[in-house]
Structure 1
């Protein structure tokens, strides 16, 4: 696993566009925006600001040390969608991506539409039903705070959990031109996606019993066990207890509205 953050970009570098296929943003739609802001603020130390009028309803960007880390929007009262973090993948042309998704077994739910003058976005689902976003435009994520090897509460990895990784891999590889490598054991249904020779995300097959294919966002923390306990104290729950993995110690948790995410302590 690797992070999607730039290591030392400042000034003009922050406005450059992301390389197509790179996970470039993560966002969450919730029923109670204020309660969700409080939960993540107390868990990760996020602060918030509103970037301006939104076509899709109230929306804030979460920040750490002045740098964007994620977005949270509020659903209309009559919309009862399941809560889940959505990974956005960068594109040079959101309109072309949307048409390709429609013609390749996916579904476009929203867009393409302009977003605050910073770019264009699409919300879609892949052929297996996993929601994801497409972003064309300026960088949304800022660099890590200067002088820190890691920053608690920042997104560091994105993984698609689906029924059959080998099958859905063809969709994403054709859409974004990923180079791919098998991950894990020889007979495991798992792949790492590479852009320009560097790993940016992964796809893991969980078998037909998986209820809802989804993209999982990993957030870095200093202490996985302590943060998982804190999630429960704040009204969330621990979905998968902390465990050691080749990529570091991880635990999957869910916020009070049920949106799952993974805590990760990477090796130093």
Structure 2
């Protein structure tokens, strides 16, 4: 599954944090330390015991910032999202609540006086995969519901022009009018084996070498795809089952 060419230059992401929630933090720390570098260990959290008991699966969780969490939560519920448990304290003293969006994907909502400024400033400027993803896409079986929810609650703009990648319908997503796309919405309604989720792409120096490490450390690797902008992409699963993407300009 591939995406339109990511607009890496000038990309501004409204995700104020992206963190791994997993069932085995030690194993995940070793795996991502080998694949992405030692700094990745700081991005790993344990799935709370009560969530694990309810069947929560390991995921890379994107946290969206808002300066008015109460109003945003009310909008999300009106637009078809579901809150997953009570808010909890997150990184940087932010209160984070988990939500299932109108298409079924899980994301976090952070209430913080600085969340809006952090989102505006969060532009990747280096090749460190452990800082921020270089791209993200939302796998969704009901694009109309998800796009209405993200547009209504966060003001995101879903590009009206439809692009197709490997036979899949894809829409670029911008954080606001005039901004470069920071993500894409992918219609997976015809792919019953793909569950709804945000998939985050991380930068590596050379793709084939990184994929060899993924395999050696117990992860799984999907097909390698050439992106329209000349970059290379592979979608992987870590040993605990969390999906992530690896991108590089060098094969």
TM-score normalised by structure 2 residue count: 0.79
Measured in 1, the distance between the counterparts of 2:135 and 2:91 equals 26
- Given candidates 162, 166, 171, the residue that maps to 1:191 is 171
**How many Å apart are 1:223 and its aligned residue?**
1.0
Asked if 1:150 is matched to 2:123, the reply is no
Q: Residues 117, 35 of structure 1: CA spacing in aligned structure 2 closer, same or farther, 3 A cutoff?
A: closer
The alignment partner of 2:210 has SS state of: helix
Structure number with the higher strand fraction is 1
1:208-238 alpha-carbon deviations (Å, 9 max, x no partner)? 4334111001101111121111101011111
- Given candidates 216, 225, 228, the residue that maps to 1:233 is 216
Q: Residues 246, 266 of structure 1: CA spacing in aligned structure 2 closer, same or farther, 3 A cutoff?
A: same
Which 5+ residue runs of structure 2 have no aligned equivalent?
A: 1-5
1:1-34 alpha-carbon deviations (Å, 9 max, x no partner)? 245999xxxxxxxxxxxx9x71221122211111
Q: 1:71-220 counterparts in 2 under 5 A?
A: 71-76=44-49, 79=53, 80-115=55-90, 118-137=93-112, 138=114, 139=118, 149-154=126-131, 155-181=133-159, 182-185=161-164, 189-196=169-176, 197-198=178-179, 199-211=181-193, 212-220=195-203
Measured in 1, the distance between the counterparts of 2:162 and 2:205 equals 25
Q: Residues 153, 246 of structure 1: CA spacing in aligned structure 2 closer, same or farther, 3 A cutoff?
A: farther
Structure number with the higher helix fraction is 2
Count how many residue pairs are aligned between Structure 1 and Structure 2. Answer: 231
Measured in 1, the distance between the counterparts of 2:164 and 2:21 equals 35
Q: Bigger CA drift: 224-233 or 178-187? A: 178-187
**How many Å apart are 1:149 and its aligned residue?**
4.3
Greater relative contact order: 1 or 2 (C-alpha under 8 angstroms, separation 6 or more)?
A: 2
Measured in 2, the distance between the counterparts of 1:166 and 1:222 equals 36
Q: Bigger CA drift: 99-108 or 179-188? A: 179-188
TM-score normalised by structure 1 residue count: 0.75
Measured in 2, the distance between the counterparts of 1:195 and 1:106 equals 19
The alignment partner of 2:134 has SS state of: strand
**How many Å apart are 1:114 and its aligned residue?**
4.2
Measured in 2, the distance between the counterparts of 1:4 and 1:72 equals 30
Which 5+ residue runs of structure 1 have no aligned equivalent?
A: 7-18, 49-60, 63-69
